[in-house]
Protein backbone atom coordinates (compact mmCIF):
# COMPACT_ATOMS: atom_id res chain seq x y z
CA UNK A 1 0.00 0.00 0.00
CA UNK A 2 1.36 3.47 -0.90
CA UNK A 3 1.72 6.22 1.63
CA UNK A 4 -0.85 8.95 1.19
CA UNK A 5 0.11 12.49 2.08
CA UNK A 6 -2.98 14.35 3.24
CA UNK A 7 -3.28 17.97 2.17
CA UNK A 8 -3.14 19.48 5.63
CA UNK A 9 -2.38 23.05 6.48
CA UNK A 10 0.32 23.58 9.11
CA UNK A 11 -1.25 24.72 12.38
CA UNK A 12 0.28 27.80 14.03
CA UNK A 13 -0.32 28.90 17.61
CA UNK A 14 0.03 32.69 17.67
CA UNK A 15 0.45 34.58 20.96
CA UNK A 16 0.38 38.38 20.81
CA UNK A 17 -1.18 40.80 23.30
CA UNK A 18 -1.48 43.68 20.82
CA UNK A 19 -4.91 43.22 19.21
CA UNK A 20 -4.07 44.98 15.94
CA UNK A 21 -0.84 43.05 15.35
CA UNK A 22 -2.43 39.75 16.34
CA UNK A 23 -5.32 40.32 13.91
CA UNK A 24 -2.92 41.36 11.13
CA UNK A 25 -0.70 38.30 11.62
CA UNK A 26 -3.72 36.00 11.86
CA UNK A 27 -5.08 37.40 8.58
CA UNK A 28 -1.70 37.29 6.81
CA UNK A 29 -0.84 33.75 7.92
CA UNK A 30 -4.31 32.46 7.09
CA UNK A 31 -4.06 33.96 3.59
CA UNK A 32 -0.66 32.25 3.24
CA UNK A 33 -2.35 28.88 3.81
CA UNK A 34 -1.83 28.30 7.52
CA UNK A 35 -4.38 27.35 10.14
CA UNK A 36 -3.98 29.86 12.99
CA UNK A 37 -5.09 29.68 16.62
CA UNK A 38 -4.64 32.92 18.58
CA UNK A 39 -3.81 33.65 22.22
CA UNK A 40 -3.90 37.05 23.88
CA UNK A 41 -1.31 36.50 26.64
CA UNK A 42 1.33 34.11 27.93
CA UNK A 43 -1.00 32.28 30.32
CA UNK A 44 -3.42 31.56 27.48
CA UNK A 45 -0.46 30.33 25.39
CA UNK A 46 0.71 28.00 28.16
CA UNK A 47 -2.80 26.62 28.68
CA UNK A 48 -3.18 25.89 24.95
CA UNK A 49 0.15 24.07 24.93
CA UNK A 50 -0.81 22.05 28.01
CA UNK A 51 -4.06 20.95 26.34
CA UNK A 52 -1.93 18.90 23.98
CA UNK A 53 -3.37 20.09 20.69
CA UNK A 54 -0.86 19.45 17.91
CA UNK A 55 0.75 22.65 16.63
CA UNK A 56 3.39 22.76 13.93
CA UNK A 57 4.78 26.14 14.93
CA UNK A 58 4.44 28.69 17.72
CA UNK A 59 4.83 32.40 17.13
CA UNK A 60 4.98 34.34 20.37
CA UNK A 61 5.59 37.85 21.55
CA UNK A 62 8.18 37.87 24.31
CA UNK A 63 6.59 40.53 26.53
CA UNK A 64 2.99 39.75 27.38
CA UNK A 65 0.76 39.87 30.46
CA UNK A 66 0.41 36.92 32.86
CA UNK A 67 3.43 34.97 31.54
CA UNK A 68 6.04 36.24 29.14
CA UNK A 69 6.87 34.41 25.95
CA UNK A 70 10.32 33.75 27.41
CA UNK A 71 8.78 32.13 30.50
CA UNK A 72 6.59 29.90 28.33
CA UNK A 73 9.56 29.02 26.13
CA UNK A 74 11.64 28.12 29.18
CA UNK A 75 8.83 25.95 30.58
CA UNK A 76 8.75 24.05 27.29
CA UNK A 77 12.47 23.17 27.45
CA UNK A 78 11.79 19.85 29.14
CA UNK A 79 9.25 18.70 26.57
CA UNK A 80 10.66 15.96 24.37
CA UNK A 81 8.65 16.95 21.35
CA UNK A 82 7.64 20.53 20.95
CA UNK A 83 6.99 22.67 17.94
CA UNK A 84 9.55 25.27 16.95
CA UNK A 85 9.13 28.78 18.36
CA UNK A 86 9.47 32.02 16.46
CA UNK A 87 9.77 34.82 19.01
CA UNK A 88 8.85 38.46 18.36
CA UNK A 89 10.04 41.38 20.43
CA UNK A 90 9.98 45.15 20.40
CA UNK A 91 12.82 45.01 22.93
CA UNK A 92 15.38 43.18 20.82
CA UNK A 93 18.58 43.72 22.71
CA UNK A 94 21.35 41.15 22.41
CA UNK A 95 20.62 39.67 25.84
CA UNK A 96 16.98 39.01 24.93
CA UNK A 97 17.99 37.31 21.68
CA UNK A 98 20.58 35.16 23.46
CA UNK A 99 18.14 34.15 26.19
CA UNK A 100 15.48 33.17 23.65
CA UNK A 101 18.05 31.13 21.73
CA UNK A 102 19.22 29.41 24.94
CA UNK A 103 15.61 28.48 25.71
CA UNK A 104 15.25 26.94 22.25
CA UNK A 105 13.74 29.63 20.01
CA UNK A 106 14.26 28.83 16.35
CA UNK A 107 14.27 32.53 15.47
CA UNK A 108 13.79 35.84 17.27
CA UNK A 109 12.58 38.70 15.10
CA UNK A 110 12.51 42.35 16.13
CA UNK A 111 9.40 44.49 15.80
CA UNK A 112 8.51 46.19 13.62
CA UNK A 113 9.09 43.62 10.92
CA UNK A 114 8.02 43.20 7.32
CA UNK A 115 5.08 40.80 6.90
CA UNK A 116 6.73 39.19 3.87
CA UNK A 117 9.81 38.53 6.01
CA UNK A 118 7.62 36.88 8.65
CA UNK A 119 5.97 34.64 6.03
CA UNK A 120 9.42 33.64 4.73
CA UNK A 121 10.53 32.78 8.28
CA UNK A 122 7.35 30.80 8.91
CA UNK A 123 7.73 28.92 5.63
CA UNK A 124 11.37 28.09 6.34
CA UNK A 125 10.68 27.04 9.93
CA UNK A 126 7.58 24.95 9.17
CA UNK A 127 9.35 23.23 6.23
CA UNK A 128 11.98 21.96 8.69
CA UNK A 129 9.22 19.99 10.43
CA UNK A 130 7.12 18.52 7.62
CA UNK A 131 3.84 16.81 8.37
CA UNK A 132 4.21 13.02 8.68
CA UNK A 133 2.84 10.89 5.90
CA UNK A 134 -0.07 8.64 6.75
CA UNK A 135 -0.11 5.19 5.24
* Average confidence (pLDDT) per 10 residues, the chain, 135 residues: 52 97 97 96 94 92 92 88 92 90 94 95 74 34
Give φ, ψ of 45 to 5 degrees.
-60, -50
Tallying the residues shown for the chain, one arrives at 135
Q: How far is CA 72 from CA 42, 115, 126, in A?
A: 7, 24, 20
The pLDDT of residue 128 is 59
Whole-prediction pTM = 0.86
Write the CB contacts of 130 (distance below 8 Å, at least 6 apart in sequence). none
Pair 76, 29: CB distance under 8 Å: no
pLDDT tens per residue, range 59-80: 999 999 889 999 999 998 888 7
Percent of the chain, pLDDT > 90? 73
Please give the Cα distance from 62 to 71 (Å, whole number): 8
Amino acid sequence: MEAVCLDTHPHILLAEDDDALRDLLDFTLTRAGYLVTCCTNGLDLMERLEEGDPFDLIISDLRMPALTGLEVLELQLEKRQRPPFICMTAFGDRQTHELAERFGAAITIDKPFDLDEMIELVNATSLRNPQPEIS
